[in-house]
């Protein structure tokens, strides 16, 4: 699986959109981009994933650049409960049982 690079930490004001970047310049054509978050001492929570098209669900939007070398997770109206570590993971589709490779993620802090 390709390696990802994320900022160590970010701040965002409550009510504003939180934009979390992720670089994955070595991503392969069959690798998907996944986002999870982990609130302190809880299990990681799945947020969203995509291949090359932008995706949106009830939690967030995922914007993937045309060359697929980077992506942005957008939380449209951040609340204090969105404070967590956010992990960007790339993973091969169509096979493989090697688990998810987590980096250190981005610690997002929502400020009141």
Partner 1 sequence: DAGVTQSPTHLIKTRGQHVTLRCSPISGHKSVSWYQQVLGQGPQFIFQYYEKEERGRGNFPDRFSARQFPNYSSELNVNALLLGDSALYLCASSRTSGGHTDTQYFGPGTRLTVL
Residue 16 CB, shortest distance to partner 1, in Å, is: 26
Residue 96 CB, shortest distance to partner 1, in Å, is: 5
Q: Are 106 and 6 in contact (CB under 8 A)?
A: yes
In terms of CB distance, is 9 or 77 closer to partner 1?
9
In terms of CB distance, is 94 or 112 closer to partner 1?
94
Six-digit token string for 50: 């995509």
3-state secondary structure at position 61? strand
In terms of CB distance, is 29 or 112 closer to partner 1?
29
3-state secondary structure at position 95? coil
Binding positions for partner 1, rule: CB under 8 A: 32, 34, 36, 41-46, 49, 51, 85, 87, 91, 93-105
Q: Are 6 and 103 in contact (CB under 8 A)?
A: yes
């Amino acid at each position: 699986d390709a390696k990802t690079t994320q900022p160590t930490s970010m701040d965002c004001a409550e009510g504003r959109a939180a934009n979390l970047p992720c670089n994955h310049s070595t991503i392969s054509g069959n690798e998907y981009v996944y986002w999870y978050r982990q609130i302190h001492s809880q299990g990681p929570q799945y947020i969203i994933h995509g291949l090359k098209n932008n995706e949106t669900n009830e939690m967030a939007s995922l914007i993937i650049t045309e060359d697929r070398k980077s992506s942005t997770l957008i939380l449209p109206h951040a609340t204090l409960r969105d404070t967590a570590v956010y992990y960007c993971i790339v993973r091969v589709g169509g096979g493989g049982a090697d688990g998810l490779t987590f980096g250190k993620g981005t610690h997002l802090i929502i400020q009141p």
